[in-house]
Amino acid sequence: MKFEFFHLMPYPGLPDDFREKHESVWVTLDSRLFDPAVGGSAYHDYLDELEYAASMGFDGVCVNEHHANGYGLMPSPNLMAATLARNTKDAAIVVMGNSLALYNPPIRVAEEFGMLDVLSGGRLVAGFPVGTAMDTTYAYGQVPITLRDKYMEAHDLVVRAWTEPDVFSFNGKFTQVRYVNALPRPLQKPHPPIWIPGGTSVETWEWCARTDYLYAYLSYFGYKQGMRTMQGFWEEVERQGREPNPYQAGFLQFVAIADTDAQAEKDYAEAADYFYNRCLHIAPRFVDPPGYRTLRTVETGLKSQVKAAATKKKSEPLGWKDFVERGYIIAGSPQSVRQQLEEVIKKLRVGHMMLLLHFGNLSKETTMNNTRLFATEVMPHLKDIWSEYEDRWWLRPTTANGA
């Protein structure tokens, strides 16, 4: 079993009345709410938290890409990954990821990921998300109905740029390049492991199963709501006649550890409220433009978790007990968290568990303590789960990383 420390890097200074006075945390967020000094301090705290997690034995540290919002201050996760590559030693640098369709030309992704893999000594995990509607359609002006086709073409170009030794020409529908020669090439061969962060898209399940990529469900609403999505992926794996290897799946889970349940509420309730009732305050008009989801996906009846949050009535803000009872957050003593998490891992059949041990406006001190307790009191007891399987979705052997 592998555990990765995941960070969203939210802006910690959204006002108390943000939900009441502002339309959305994404796309139309009032830039005057952003204090660069607060943001700069937060960046340093967040990097400290990621580096601390790496030093505590987490298998990897994760960053990701979002735009025009206060929910995740990483328009360029590669900048954060470069810093982490210099200041960590053994942990994988998991970039979850670069939204391929937003890069023109996508060779930029091949180049920067190549740099990161070389810089880190072969520790990059390359995430290729399609991207949320807020990031792609509204913040970056992409046409939703062509987004997936553009993404797939970009993927093909990046992989070819990594694996073909000679200069070649690429003549795609969306990208034409006479000389493709992406340097530096990654240290890992044939290329770094590719993970696909996804939601409830049927096509993503099919593609991950067919290409043998890892499917990572980045759920903010916990294992109870995530069960149906993960079941859909494993049913597709079975339909294609492939091995149901747990390491081909990842899942994101909030965790809050304290000595007692009461102490957990005291330590984490404010940060949970900040995340769910401010960071996920999104205008419904931005979450599901026509053409963004395919007809097949719509027909499954599975709903976007972001859309569910965006359409929640303002008069119905959830509280700490709701977050815990609904499984959004696994909270309690180390022993309780161990028991709950073991059950979740086995029910979802995931070999990679990504942990949000920082969320909302949680303080650096509390985040560090949460990280320490997880690394010392929870993680060692769960590492042997799935030991009978080979993890083919992890760092490739190189003389540099000794994997």
Tens of pLDDT, residue by residue over 275-331, are: 999 999 999 999 989 988 777 677 665 556 565 666 565 557 789 999 999 999 999
105 preceded by a cis bond (ω within 30 of 0): yes
CA atoms of 362 and 170, how far apart (whole Å): 46
Contact 309, 284 (CB under 8 A): no
Q: Please, is 302 exposed, middle or buried when counting C-beta atoms within 10 Å of its C-beta (0-12, 13-18, 19+)?
A: middle
pLDDT in tens, 126-178: 999 999 999 999 999 999 999 999 999 999 999 999 999 999 999 999 999 99
Contact 64, 75 (CB under 8 A): no
CA atoms of 82 and 118, how far apart (whole Å): 10
Q: At what angle do helices 261-274 and 364-373 cross, to 10 degrees?
A: 130
Superfamily of domain 2-382: Luciferase-like domain (3.20.20.30)
CA atoms of 342 and 325, how far apart (whole Å): 17
Q: Given the DSSP bridges, would you call strands 194-198 and 214-217 parallel, antiparallel or unpaired?
A: parallel
Q: Nearest Cα to 72, choosing from 154, 158, 134?
A: 134
CA atoms of 256 and 373, how far apart (whole Å): 10
Question: What separation in angstroms does the CA of 251 have from each of 26, 121, 219?
Answer: 23, 26, 7
Q: Nearest Cα to 113, choosing from 81, 156, 72?
A: 81
Residues sharing a CB contact under 8 Å with residue 97, sequence separation 6 or more, in sequence order = 64, 65, 77, 126, 127, 128, 129, 195, 197
| Per-residue model confidence (pLDDT) at position 315 | 57
Cα angle 140, 142, 146 (rounded to 5 degrees) comes to 160
| Per-residue model confidence (pLDDT) at position 310 | 62
| Per-residue model confidence (pLDDT) at position 153 | 98
| Per-residue model confidence (pLDDT) at position 304 | 62
| Per-residue model confidence (pLDDT) at position 403 | 46
CA atoms of 309 and 284, how far apart (whole Å): 9
Q: Nearest Cα to 32, choosing from 8, 11, 47?
A: 11
Walk along the chain (403 residues) in steps of 10 and give the mean pLDDT of each run. 98 96 97 97 98 98 97 97 97 96 97 98 97 96 95 98 98 98 97 92 92 96 93 96 98 96 96 96 93 74 60 71 96 97 98 98 98 98 98 87 51
CA atoms of 314 and 252, how far apart (whole Å): 26
Question: What residue type is assigned to position 289 of the chain?
Answer: P
